[in-house]
DNA sequence: AACAAGGCTGCAACCGCTTACAATTCTTGC
DNA sequence: GCAAGAATTGTAAGCGGTTGCAGCCTTGTT
């Protein structure tokens, strides 16, 4: 029993409905030049026989895989999986498959831009990964459409937030509360070299400069977009001779780490140190973190949609989609205990 | 420029190395019965030409896709993505592709067990989803190997924790601190009908009964494994005439929601209400949540490994792998303010 | 009534790889 | 030195669709 019964093929449907396999193929895929009555008959047969085209065969014959790959630096981060949720929803609705890759090594990265991956997907969504010119060219010449989330690009569409503005919103908020010595946690050398941290640092500096303050590089501390990174950065900042009264963390996860470090020193948030993050992570509401909200799932759904559009019309121009942002004030920011000037 | 150049095929390698395509195929896949010298020559050609077999063609010819699908109730939960990280790492190392599906509707569920999915993957990893006998049979007869994470099964391998024991550890810990009125947040009618919540409730009840306490169903409050669910459940429990002095939440995410609700009432954790969760989520350390630790990523890697084993030896028997657990005491549990008896 | 123009269908050639089976070449035992 | 058996390699038939091209039927024209 449970023999792996040969599954029903297009030939079976053709026999059943009395037409050729070519007509079945055309009828089922909604191509023109099929008599309505024929199409109906074929559809009825297909349904009755529970026919499902073999994706491998279709792929081989057509050269299209109806699959898109998504490459992220790591799978265990909240941000990436939120994006993935958005991507998956749109793709599934359109009948596309989603292939997932973690790009956590050079070899994985090579796999992404060279042979293997390319033959598996029609499109690629990269998240917080910046491609080199060579890599972009390789993908383009292989016919793989790319959409970038997080990092901008000239050669393909991207969806991101205005990162400078994100930082400006956060820092302006802290300035308006009276803070003048504001730490920065989160820029730094990202292994994937993408520009989000740099843009956010620019925004941070813009606000300080516009207010006539001098930028103190001592207050800028690199950190991964992670809890651990935030803790490490905050520990450093709090140990300064003249520590900041507020810290702008480049992501909520970083901010949680910052808060942890503040608490570990017996200090209070926001009485001793104000903290503001970016994302509006699910737990931000739990701990009352003030943050710059962005709809991360929307990043994913927009990216998927842009890619699908590109499939139907390859000539469509690359667009830069900016997701809206907003300051969400909660309980981790307040006026500094001692106003400095 | 950037013309989509025809990529190099097995025929090109055959020509280059002066053998037939059949020999190339055998040589490159490491099959026996290929002269060492020939194999070497073929490998050298393949490498020089940058040959990568077309997965669609291989799939069509062999009937195997070297792809496994992973189905989760939702993609935006910490738990599922941790599992995914473990799965992806193992799969990628073995040269397998990972297809991801969110099973959030009946139609998605049907898609999983019937035609479409089955033709896309050799194996399926389901997380916190319990298959009906019909569904299992459908997959088996289609030749798809299944491994379950979270839910147990008789027909295929599963990896999970001893859920009764998880709950016992948590509740025993609370009892040892002196708590006698302990709330439960998290069991309840899961849309995917899986048994983790029920088993954990059993464990919870076991401890109470062993201690000679009567089970008060009023203290058992359903909730999704989410922050919102935890808040809702805790709000209900705290409104009881005789509220619990401690709450066992079935996941850390649930526990965070519980804590939120406690704080919202102006109460303190653990002084007024002790809280213990399950998972050891990344943020548990941040907020100091006492929890029952389980290595979720390991769930994924073990599941993937079991599946791969099954591919090489289909006759291998279904195993039930239990991931170790441990109580991690932090700062959300303490003796109750008033010891009742 | 003859003819051109479409609208539908079927034919058949791939797509690139796997794998039975046949063919050829080596080894070995005697 | 020769036949049998083992080790290699080649031949060719699929796998299940897609799609360019040709052929057959209707219709509408003149």
pLDDT at position A338: 63
The answer, yes or no, to whether residue A292 has pLDDT greater than 60, is: yes
Q: Does B110 touch chain A (CB under 8 A)?
A: no
* Residues A290 and A173: beta-carbon distance below 8 Å: yes
Helix or strand holding residue A74 (H, E): none
Q: What percent of chain A has pLDDT over 90?
A: 72
d(CA A128, CA A202): 18
- Contact between A56 and B75 using a beta-carbon 8 Å cutoff: no
- Which 3 state secondary structure label does DSSP give B246? strand
Which segments of chain B belong to CATH 3.40.50.2300? Answer: 66-160+296-323, 163-295
Lowest mean pLDDT among A224-233, A257-266, B252-261: A224-233
pLDDT at position A186: 83
Read off the pLDDT band of A189 (50, 70, 90). low
Would you state the structure tokens that stand for residue B86, as one six-digit string? 């473990």
CATH architecture of B10-53: Orthogonal Bundle (1.10)
List, in sequence order, the alpha helices (H) in A18-77.
21-28, 36-49, 55-62
The answer, yes or no, to whether residue B341 has pLDDT greater than 50, is: no
Helix or strand holding residue A134 (H, E): helix A133-141
Q: Does B105 touch chain A (CB under 8 A)?
A: no
- Fold for domain B66-160+296-323? Rossmann fold (3.40.50)
For residue range B205-258, list pLDDT tens digits in order.
999 999 999 999 999 998 888 888 999 999 999 999 999 999 999 999 999 999
List, in sequence order, the alpha helices (H) in A145-219.
163-176, 196-210
Residue-averaged pLDDT of chain A: 91
Sheet holding B325-328, edge to edge: B220-221, B182-185, B246-249, B274-279, B290-294, B325-328
- Contact between B116 and A2 using a beta-carbon 8 Å cutoff: no
- Contact between A259 and B75 using a beta-carbon 8 Å cutoff: no
Through-space separation of residue A33 CA and nucleotide D30 C1' in angstroms: 28
Please list, residue by residue across B92-130, b when 16 or more beta carbons sit within 10 angstroms of its beta carbon and e when fewer do.
Answer: beeebbbbbbbbbeeeebebbbebebbbbbbbbbbbbbb
Q: Stretch A185-198: mean pLDDT, rounded?
A: 74
- Nucleotides of strand C within 7 Å of the protein's CB atoms: 7-12, 14-20
The radius of gyration of chain A's CA atoms, rounded to the nearest angstrom, is: 26
Residue A2, classified by CB atoms within 10 Å of its CB into exposed (0-12), middle (13-18) or buried (19+), is exposed
Between A140 and A20, name the one with better pLDDT.
A20
* Residues A105 and A192: beta-carbon distance below 8 Å: no
Q: Identify the DSSP state of B178.
A: T
Substitution target in A4, A60, A100 with the highest count of B β-carbons within 10 Å is A100
Nearest to B83 by CA among A81, A317, A245, A226: A81
d(CA A236, CA A6): 64
Would you state the structure tokens that stand for residue B5, as one six-digit string? 């150049």
Sheet holding A157-160, edge to edge: A320-322, A157-160, A145-149, A123-127, A67-72, A97-102, B97-102, B67-72, B123-127, B145-149, B157-160, B320-322
Read off the pLDDT band of A5 (50, 70, 90). low
Strands A325-328 and A290-294, by their bridges, are antiparallel
Q: Stretch A96-118: mean pLDDT, rounded?
A: 87
Nearest to A88 by CA among B72, B56, B191: B72
CATH architecture of A163-295: 3-Layer(aba) Sandwich (3.40)
pLDDT at position B60: 95
Q: Does B119 touch chain A (CB under 8 A)?
A: yes
Through-space separation of residue B233 CA and nucleotide C3 C1' in angstroms: 82
Cα dihedral: B172, B175, B180, B185 (round 10): -50
B256's CB contacts (< 8 A; 6+ apart) are A283, A286, B227, B230, B277, B281, B283, B287, B289
Nucleic strand D within 7 A of Cβ A6:
yes
pLDDT at position B339: 46
Q: Identify the DSSP state of B221.
A: E
Read off the pLDDT band of B113 (50, 70, 90). confident
Nucleic strand D within 7 A of Cβ A27:
no
Query: Right CATH number for A63-160+296-321 from 3.40.50.300, 3.30.460.80, 3.20.20.120, 3.40.50.2300?
Result: 3.40.50.2300
Would you state the structure tokens that stand for residue B171, as one six-digit string? 């509740």
pLDDT at position B77: 85
Residues of chain B numbered 142-171 and touching chain A (CB < 8 Å) = 142-143
Q: Minimal Cα–Cα distance from B212 to chain A, Å? A: 36
Q: Select from A4, A140, A286 the Cβ nearest to the Cβ of B143.
A: A4
For residue range B159-173, list pLDDT tens digits in order.
999 999 999 999 999
- Contact between A114 and B7 using a beta-carbon 8 Å cutoff: no
Q: Stretch B290-302: mean pLDDT, rounded?
A: 97
Would you state the structure tokens that stand for residue B40, as one six-digit string? 């070497």
The answer, yes or no, to whether residue A281 has pLDDT greater than 60, is: yes
The answer, yes or no, to whether residue B1 has pLDDT greater than 80, is: no
For residue range A230-249, list pLDDT tens digits in order.
999 999 999 999 999 999 99
pLDDT at position B188: 66
Read off the pLDDT band of A188 (50, 70, 90). low
The answer, yes or no, to whether residue A1 has pLDDT greater than 60, is: no
Q: Does B262 touch chain A (CB under 8 A)?
A: no
**What residue is closest to D7 (Cα–C1')?**
B33
Which segments of chain B belong to CATH 1.10.260.40? Answer: 10-53
Q: Minimal Cα–Cα distance from A232 to chain B, Å? A: 13
pLDDT at position B110: 86
How many cross-chain Cβ pairs, A to B, lie less than 8 Å apart? Answer: 140
pLDDT at position B338: 63
Q: Identify the DSSP state of A142.
A: T
pLDDT at position A2: 37
The answer, yes or no, to whether residue A134 has pLDDT greater than 80, is: yes
Q: Does A228 touch chain B (CB under 8 A)?
A: no
The answer, yes or no, to whether residue B79 has pLDDT greater than 50, is: yes
pLDDT at position B226: 85
């Amino acid at each position: 029993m449970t023999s792996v019964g040969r599954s029903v093929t297009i030939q079976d449907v053709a026999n059943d409905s009395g037409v050729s396999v070519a007509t079945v193929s055309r009828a089922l895929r909604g191509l023109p030049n099929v008599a309505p009555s024929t199409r109906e008959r074929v559809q009825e047969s297909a349904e009755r026989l529970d026919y499902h085209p073999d994706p491998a065969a279709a792929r081989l014959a057509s050269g299209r895989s109806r699959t898109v790959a998504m490459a992220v630096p790591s799978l265990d981060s909240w941000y990436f999986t939120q994006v993935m949720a958005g991507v998956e929803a749109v793709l599934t609705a359109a009948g596309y498959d989603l292939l997932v890759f973690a790009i956590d090594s050079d070899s994985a990265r090579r796999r992404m831009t060279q042979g293997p991956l390319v033959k598996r997907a029609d499109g690629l969504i990269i998240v917080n990964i910046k491609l080199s010119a060579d890599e972009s060219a390789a993908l383009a010449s292989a016919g793989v459409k790319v959409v970038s989330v997080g990092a901008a690009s000239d050669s393909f569409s991207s969806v991101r937030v205005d990162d400078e503005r994100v930082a400006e919103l956060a820092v302006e908020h802290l300035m308006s509360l009276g803070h003048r010595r504001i730490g920065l946690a989160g820029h730094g050398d990202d292994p994937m070299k993408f520009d989000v941290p740099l843009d956010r640092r620019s925004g941070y500096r813009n606000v300080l400069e516009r207010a006539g303050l001098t930028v103190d590089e001592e207050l800028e501390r690199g950190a991964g977009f992670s809890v651990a990174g935030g803790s490490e950065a905050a520990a450093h900042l709090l140990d300064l001779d003249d520590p900041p009264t507020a810290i702008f963390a480049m992501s909520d996860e970083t901010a949680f780490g910052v808060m942890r470090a503040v608490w570990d020193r017996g200090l209070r948030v926001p009485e001793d140190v104000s903290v503001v993050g970016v994302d509006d992570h699910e737990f931000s509401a739990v701990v009352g973190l003030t943050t710059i909200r962005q709809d991360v799932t929307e990043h994913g759904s927009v990216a998927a949609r842009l890619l699908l559009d590109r499939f139907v019309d390859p000539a469509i121009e690359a667009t830069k989609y900016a997701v809206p942002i907003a300051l969400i004030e909660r309980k981790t920011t307040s006026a500094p205990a001692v106003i400095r000037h």
